[in-house]
Structure 1
Amino acid sequence: MNPPTTDTTLPATRGCPMHRAARPKETTAVPARAWHDLPQPPGWPVLGQLPGFDVTRTHLTLERWARELGTPYRFSMGPGYRAMVIDDPEVVQQISRQRPETFGRGGRMQPVMSEMGFNGVFSAEGDAWRTQRKLVMGSLNATHLKGWLPALCRITERLAQRWDRAAADGRALEMTDELKRYTVDVTSLLAFGQDPRTLDHGGTGTGNAIQQHLELIFPAIMRRVMTPFSYWKWVRLPADRRLDRAIAAVQQHARQCIDEARRRLPGADPTAPRHALESMLLHQAGLGLSDADLVANVVTLLLAGEDTTAHGLCWTLFYLAAEPALQDTMNLQAQAVLGARNVPADTAQLAALEPFEHLALEAIRLRPVVPFNGFESPHETLVAGIAVPARTKIFSLARPPMLDPSRFPEPLRYRPERWATGEVDGRAYQPFGAGARVCPGRSLATAEMRLVLAMLLRRFRVELACRPEDIGEICALTMLPSRMPVRLAPR
């Protein structure tokens, strides 16, 4: 099946902003280049590129400098802050194979997350990371999906009912909010066994509060990670005090969930845990983890599960709205798989919904929800032929290699069928990370994508309720749309 497609430019940056011709691969060994030979953007003495740097546009700024300077290049955010930017997926793969022994996340990620009490598998390093990785991977094992599918389907049905009401009223929906409500409900239920029901007429007080607190935390992490000094340890701005309250509320919620799950632990089946937290508790003693470790990983699951999947789905709706013929094609496919149902009856039907996952994979190729990754080595090392000093931040850009025509034919077109025909370079496509730190929640995220998109396209037609060019990109650790108003029409 080859559904019709149209040329789709990236409205936040216009035209062909990230594209440049594929560079020839090096075929001969060359001497290591010196760090100071790398190009750098114009900046200030001592402060480097810090003055005027807009954290909410971090990925766009790094991509613009890559177009202007080529890669790798270097930049600084003040005294003692060295950074290098790369966009070669082969180099990223090499770095990923050397984690965690040679490279870690480094930078300010771990201290910032530790300060917030959220130093879980996402930010931990060394032996602590190995232990927590084993814990989280086991709790999110793809084999649990069969047991979790009924809960996923129930929440997807609630989303369908909510959208039915909006479509009947002719109301435009802000999908950045709608899809976060869905992912909060799914992640809360599957991660620690509690359903906040944020989709039910606005949700309960607790459900709404948790979602609002999470919306403060993610941008704050990004802001603090990119700030070269911890001003908040001496000066507490109103935003810092709001963040303190949000962190305290989320930590308290996590501890309550742990206490409740522990009370129910005597009835647990180790071979079929009811949720990820129960799996963690069953393995806590054997791995020697504290309750603080559990809190950190419960919150990590909630943070990661809410934003990444919701934003990926939002960008998918952006592209689908421009493709009415593709919507019609996928409507027929949803009916063929689901019949009169909104959701799959079993895992076999879920597997048959793979083309709906392709819709999302293609959208996040063009709009990567994780637009860059960070690495750091405690020792001087060689990266991309550069002698990189110890403690240098290395940022790898996700989008440029995914817009390389040698890796993805017609790279600026939204063509979901390329995922079925194999016209993709898997090494250049890394929205879920790579190597040892690949996202442990990928199976759950892609299942949510299949469920939501199949339900949506079976029941509704989708159109944007604003001009495409009015939708920008915001960097808040993940990359989200500035807005995504969508109007649904019943089929």
Structure 2
Amino acid sequence: MNAASVTASLREIDDLPSPRGLPLAGNLFQLPPSTHHLTLERWAKELGTPYRFKLGRVPIVVWSDFELSQAVLRERPHRYRRYGPLETLFDEVGCNGLFSIEGEAWAPQRRLVMQALSVPHIKAFYPTLAAITERLRRRWESAAREGRIVEMNDDLKRYTVDVTSALAFGEDPNTLEKERGVIQEHLSQLLPMIMTRLSTPFPYWRYMRLPRDRRFDRAMAEVHRYVRGLMSRSRERMRDEASALEPRNLLEAMLALRDAPESGLTDDEVAANVMTMLVAGEDTTVASLAWGLLFLGGDEALQTRIAMHAKCTFGDARVCPNYQAMRELDLCEAVCTEASRLHPVAPYLSLEPLEEVELQGVRLPAGTKLFFLNRPAMLDESHFSDPARYDPDRWLREHRLQAGEHANQGTHDPRAYLQFGAGPRVCPGRHLAAVEMRLVISMLTANFTARLAQDAADIHEVCNFTVVPNRMPMRLALRPA
């Protein structure tokens, strides 16, 4: 086949199937921000892959092929970048850190964050992790004794903010023992506003402020004050303890780099990464835990099974006592992994090519907006056997071997699970998230029985950048010794 015929056989974006839209607006009004991901998945079922839709006049091409997602992610950051408007929006609020930053600035920041979140660093940090988990246990014990319903979304956000701050910044804000005035109240407004602005065709906020924008501005001002305070106190400690040979946390490492001659790094860039860590350190982990609790709260047998194993692992302790023991709690992590297979925390990946590319016979000019849906592959029986069934055991290698399953049978393909991304920009916090999942689920089941305080059918997905449950109220009771 000659070059002319190959070119002629390529499809253009306009050749792809698409849902019916409106002139000028495209499909904008069919995509409510909080549930737009469900509409994208429905269109994928109706139209196949790939298809296109339009936000105003901007076409977006949508795939649900995880093999293609993997291939594209391996070519970041040199051939593809994250969805361009994201960097602009994060930059506007002073939060353009490692998650959204592109270009030459990415690599040195990635190295710093990877060091801070490395396995040896988290292992050394484990006693603090256990102490914060014990603080969460005491909070839940108080609620259980008083018969109070616990809104798990709120408590888990406090827990992850405390963990991330202590690990990455050397300060523990102890939001778990405070009821009001905690930084998480302000941080929680960031991602929903980013999601809202992403789906708004005209950037009105650059010209006028609505009441919700003014509320958001006040919240971000509080967050920036908090972050600058963290940086100032960290610099003071570094001056007072100049004998320390190496930075002791991510913030100290970033400040040392910032203050080095000709570093090219500014205080604003350091602050942006602090905000990124606070938000990213909370969001995915909280959602994965909360979705795990949705299934755990209705399964007494699973709770009992995990509790028995956790108590054997803990000995006389109320919380997993050491890092080595934590490694034995595979089922606790599997509870959350399986839940986020059915309720993906990251519903899709949003990217764009830096140059013209061809994907599966479609010509895509540089800058084309691309979405890669995650859930379809995770609900495909060619990747996961009985895919609609919640079964955390499918993630335990021993269980799969006992069931006689083998990788070549295609019944369990973990490559289709892309909740932490893949390739060079895979999430650097995935190990910390796994440790937190193991600690929280084991502590909960070892010390309490948990029941949903609301009909599970009334708990639904809300996309505030990541997909979270609208509520997760639970009743806790002390588990008999």
**Structure 1-normalised TM-score?**
0.90
- Aligned equivalents of 1:170, 1:269: Cα separation in 2: 50
Change (3 A) 1:269 1:40: farther
- Return structure 1 stretches of 4+ with deviation > 6 angstroms: 268-272
Question: Is the 1:170–1:487 Cα contact (8 Å) retained in structure 2?
Answer: yes
Answer yes or no: is 1:246 the counterpart of 2:219.
Answer: yes
Answer yes or no: is 1:278 the counterpart of 2:252.
Answer: yes
Find 1:339's aligned residue among 298, 301, 315: 315
- Aligned equivalents of 1:52, 1:58: Cα separation in 2: 8
What's 1:23 paired with?
none
Deviation at 1:384, TM superposition (A): 2.8
- Aligned equivalents of 1:236, 1:89: Cα separation in 2: 40
What's 2:4 paired with?
none
- Aligned equivalents of 1:35, 1:439: Cα separation in 2: 30
Counterparts of residues 15-414 of structure 1 (less than 5 Å):
31-79=9-57, 81-202=58-179, 205=181, 208=182, 210-266=183-239, 267=241, 273-284=247-258, 285=260, 288-414=264-390
1:20-75 Cα shifts (integer Å, max 9, x gaps): xxxxxxxxxx9432222211111012221012430111211111111111111001
Paired residue total? 458
- Aligned equivalents of 2:75, 2:156: Cα separation in 1: 36
1:218-269 Cα shifts (integer Å, max 9, x gaps): 1011111222221111121011111111111111211111111111124378
Question: Is the 2:186–2:219 Cα contact (8 Å) retained in structure 1?
Answer: yes
Change (3 A) 1:269 1:343: farther
Range with greater deviation from structure 2 (362-371 or 51-60): 51-60
- Aligned equivalents of 1:45, 1:330: Cα separation in 2: 55
Question: Residue 379 of structure 1: SS of its match in structure 2?
Answer: coil
Flag structure 1 segments of 5+ consecutive residues without an equivalent.
Answer: 1-29
Change (3 A) 1:241 1:376: same
Question: Is the 2:353–2:366 Cα contact (8 Å) retained in structure 1?
Answer: yes
- Aligned equivalents of 1:276, 1:269: Cα separation in 2: 18
Change (3 A) 1:65 1:271: farther
Range with greater deviation from structure 2 (354-363 or 469-478): 354-363
Answer yes or no: is 1:490 the counterpart of 2:478.
Answer: yes
- Aligned equivalents of 1:384, 1:338: Cα separation in 2: 51
Identity of aligned residues (%): 47
Question: Is the 1:106–1:375 Cα contact (8 Å) retained in structure 2?
Answer: yes
Question: Is the 1:157–1:342 Cα contact (8 Å) retained in structure 2?
Answer: yes
Letter in 2 for 1:466: Q
Flag structure 2 segments of 5+ consecutive residues without an equivalent.
Answer: 1-7, 401-410
- Aligned equivalents of 1:250, 1:373: Cα separation in 2: 27
Question: Is the 1:268–1:278 Cα contact (8 Å) retained in structure 2?
Answer: no
- Aligned equivalents of 2:348, 2:245: Cα separation in 1: 37
1:376-426 Cα shifts (integer Å, max 9, x gaps): 113321123211233211111111101111111111111111111355312
What's 2:404 paired with?
none
Question: Is the 1:167–1:487 Cα contact (8 Å) retained in structure 2?
Answer: yes
Letter in 2 for 1:455: M
Question: Residue 261 of structure 1: SS of its match in structure 2?
Answer: helix
What's 1:427 paired with?
415
Deviation at 1:272, TM superposition (A): 6.5
Question: Is the 1:268–1:274 Cα contact (8 Å) retained in structure 2?
Answer: no
What's 1:20 paired with?
none
1:436-463 Cα shifts (integer Å, max 9, x gaps): 1111111111111111011001011111
Question: Is the 1:35–1:389 Cα contact (8 Å) retained in structure 2?
Answer: no
**Structure 2-normalised TM-score?**
0.92
Find 1:438's aligned residue among 414, 426, 435: 426
**Higher relative contact order (Cα pairs below 8 Å, separated by 6+ residues):** 1
**Aligned-CA RMSD value:** 1.8
1:343-399 Cα shifts (integer Å, max 9, x gaps): 222221111122211111111111111111100113321123211233211111111
What's 1:465 paired with?
453
- Aligned equivalents of 1:131, 1:182: Cα separation in 2: 29
Counterparts of residues 442-453 of structure 1 (less than 5 Å):
442-453=430-441
Question: Is the 1:371–1:398 Cα contact (8 Å) retained in structure 2?
Answer: yes
Question: Is the 2:283–2:466 Cα contact (8 Å) retained in structure 1?
Answer: yes
